[in-house]
């Protein structure tokens, strides 16, 4: 863990007694690659974080919300998308010894959670998981997006009702010869 990262928060002021909490109200610059192929949070844009870090027996529960902007492209019509979003954040950062115990007991899920190191927790992977895992793989500009016309490539919603194209006739000497050969075998 790089203690110079702005996402690393000191837990020095958070008592270890269960139920104690420490608010984290912060605006971070979005790290690179915070998204998926068709939709992402622009690098350097604001991640407005409103979290409570709560002491629990296993470590520190990280709960709250993150507000951010996503940009992308509609998977049906290729229109640009620019949206403000709020995502719930919920994760558990383990104390190192407890995480090691759980892993030794066969708890594979414990390996996926962050670990508290030297009384610090890195919020970047927690925020990354909360945001990226909830982005749609096929984003739409609207739920009723009709997509593009297969014939001309224009947006269907921009075209007049009844718009259509004549299907091209497919002729091929090789296909005609194969058809003649198959008919001769009948």
The yes-or-no verdict on residue 23 having pLDDT over 90 is yes
**What is the model's pLDDT at position 18?**
87
The pLDDT tens digits for 127-178 are 999 999 999 999 999 999 988 888 888 888 888 888 878 776 667 788 788 8
The pLDDT tens digits for 91-138 are 999 998 888 888 888 888 888 888 999 999 999 999 999 999 999 999
Quote the mean pLDDT of the chain. Answer: 90
Residue among 134, 123, 131 nearest 52 (CA)? 123
**What is the model's pLDDT at position 61?**
96
**Read out DSSP for the chain?**
--TTSTTEEE-TTS-SSTT-EEEEEEEEEPPTTEE-SSEEEPTT-EEEEEEEEEEETTEEEEEEEEEEEEEEE-TTT--EEEEEEEEEEEEEEEPHHHHHHHHHTT-GGGGGS-B-BTTEEE-HHHHHHHHHTTS-SS--SSTT---B-TTT--BGGGSPTT---PPPP---HHHHHHHHHHHHH-
Q: Over pLDDT 90: what percentage of the chain?
A: 54
Predicted structure pTM score: 0.78
């Amino acid at each position: 863990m790089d203690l110079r990262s702005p996402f690393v928060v000191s837990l020095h002021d958070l008592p270890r007694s269960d139920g104690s909490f420490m608010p984290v109200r912060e605006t971070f610059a979005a790290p690179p690659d915070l998204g998926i192929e068709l939709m992402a949070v622009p690098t350097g844009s604001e991640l407005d974080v409103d979290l409570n870090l709560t002491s629990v027996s296993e470590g520190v529960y990280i709960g709250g919300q993150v507000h951010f902007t996503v940009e992308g492209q509609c998977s049906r019509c290729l229109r640009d998308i620019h949206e403000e979003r709020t995502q719930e954040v919920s994760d558990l950062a383990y104390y190192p010894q407890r995480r090691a115990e759980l892993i030794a007991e066969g708890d594979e899920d414990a390996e996926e959670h962050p670990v508290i190191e030297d009384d610090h927790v890195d919020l970047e992977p927690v925020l990354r998981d909360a945001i990226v895992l909830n982005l749609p793989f096929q984003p739409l500009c609207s739920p009723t997006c009709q997509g593009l016309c297969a014939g001309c490539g224009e947006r269907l919603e921009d075209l007049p009702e009844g718009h259509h194209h004549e299907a091209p006739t497919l002729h091929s000497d090789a296909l005609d010869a194969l058809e003649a050969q198959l008919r001769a075998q009948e």
